[in-house]
Amino acid sequence: MTEKKAALTNAEKQKRYRDRQKQSGKKEMRGYLSPEALKCYQLIAEQTQWSDSVILSNAVRLTYAAYKNGQIALLNNWLNKHEL
Protein backbone atom coordinates (compact mmCIF):
# COMPACT_ATOMS: atom_id res chain seq x y z
CA MET A 1 0.00 0.00 0.00
CA THR A 2 1.43 3.40 -0.97
CA GLU A 3 0.70 6.52 0.98
CA LYS A 4 0.34 9.86 -0.72
CA LYS A 5 2.40 12.71 0.65
CA ALA A 6 0.40 15.78 1.51
CA ALA A 7 0.93 18.57 -1.01
CA LEU A 8 2.93 21.49 0.30
CA THR A 9 1.25 24.84 0.66
CA ASN A 10 2.74 27.87 -1.08
CA ALA A 11 3.98 29.15 2.28
CA GLU A 12 5.78 25.85 2.93
CA LYS A 13 7.34 25.90 -0.54
CA GLN A 14 8.52 29.48 -0.03
CA LYS A 15 9.99 28.61 3.37
CA ARG A 16 11.86 25.63 1.90
CA TYR A 17 13.18 27.84 -0.91
CA ARG A 18 14.34 30.53 1.54
CA ASP A 19 15.97 27.88 3.74
CA ARG A 20 17.87 26.44 0.75
CA GLN A 21 19.04 29.93 -0.22
CA LYS A 22 20.28 30.57 3.33
CA GLN A 23 22.09 27.22 3.39
CA SER A 24 23.91 28.19 0.19
CA GLY A 25 25.16 31.38 1.90
CA LYS A 26 22.72 33.85 0.39
CA LYS A 27 20.95 36.61 2.32
CA GLU A 28 17.56 38.05 1.48
CA MET A 29 17.42 41.84 1.22
CA ARG A 30 14.27 43.91 0.92
CA GLY A 31 13.57 47.53 0.25
CA TYR A 32 11.86 50.00 -2.00
CA LEU A 33 13.40 51.78 -4.97
CA SER A 34 13.13 55.51 -5.43
CA PRO A 35 11.75 56.65 -8.80
CA GLU A 36 15.33 57.49 -9.87
CA ALA A 37 16.64 54.08 -8.82
CA LEU A 38 13.72 52.34 -10.53
CA LYS A 39 14.60 54.10 -13.79
CA CYS A 40 18.20 52.87 -13.45
CA TYR A 41 17.01 49.37 -12.57
CA GLN A 42 14.78 49.20 -15.64
CA LEU A 43 17.61 50.31 -17.94
CA ILE A 44 20.04 47.79 -16.44
CA ALA A 45 17.52 44.93 -16.58
CA GLU A 46 16.62 45.75 -20.18
CA GLN A 47 20.21 46.01 -21.39
CA THR A 48 21.73 43.11 -19.44
CA GLN A 49 18.82 40.69 -18.97
CA TRP A 50 20.09 40.19 -15.40
CA SER A 51 17.75 38.91 -12.69
CA ASP A 52 16.80 41.07 -9.71
CA SER A 53 19.26 39.09 -7.57
CA VAL A 54 22.17 39.71 -9.93
CA ILE A 55 21.37 43.42 -10.23
CA LEU A 56 21.17 43.81 -6.45
CA SER A 57 24.33 41.76 -5.83
CA ASN A 58 26.30 43.75 -8.39
CA ALA A 59 24.99 47.07 -7.02
CA VAL A 60 26.17 46.17 -3.51
CA ARG A 61 29.55 44.93 -4.79
CA LEU A 62 30.10 48.06 -6.92
CA THR A 63 29.16 50.33 -4.02
CA TYR A 64 31.60 48.46 -1.79
CA ALA A 65 34.35 48.78 -4.41
CA ALA A 66 33.73 52.53 -4.63
CA TYR A 67 33.85 52.75 -0.83
CA LYS A 68 37.10 50.76 -0.55
CA ASN A 69 38.73 52.93 -3.22
CA GLY A 70 37.63 56.23 -1.69
CA GLN A 71 35.24 56.97 -4.54
CA ILE A 72 31.89 57.12 -2.71
CA ALA A 73 31.74 60.93 -2.77
CA LEU A 74 32.64 60.97 -6.48
CA LEU A 75 29.98 58.36 -7.23
CA ASN A 76 27.35 60.16 -5.16
CA ASN A 77 28.16 63.51 -6.80
CA TRP A 78 27.85 61.95 -10.25
CA LEU A 79 24.47 60.44 -9.37
CA ASN A 80 23.21 63.78 -8.04
CA LYS A 81 24.57 65.73 -11.02
CA HIS A 82 22.77 63.39 -13.42
CA GLU A 83 19.62 63.32 -11.25
CA LEU A 84 19.78 59.56 -10.79
Query: Residue 5: its pLDDT value, please?
Result: 77
pLDDT at residue 73, as a whole number: 96
Per-residue confidence (pLDDT) for residue 30, from 0 to 100: 87
Domain ranges of the chain: 51-84
Nearest to 63 by CA among 53, 73, 54: 73
CA distance 42 to 29: 19
**SS3 of 81, please?**
helix
What's the confidence (pLDDT) of residue 1?
Answer: 56
Report pLDDT for 42. Answer: 97
pLDDT in tens, the chain (84 residues): 567 778 889 999 999 999 999 999 998 888 999 999 999 999 999 999 999 999 999 999 999 999 999 999 999 999 999 988
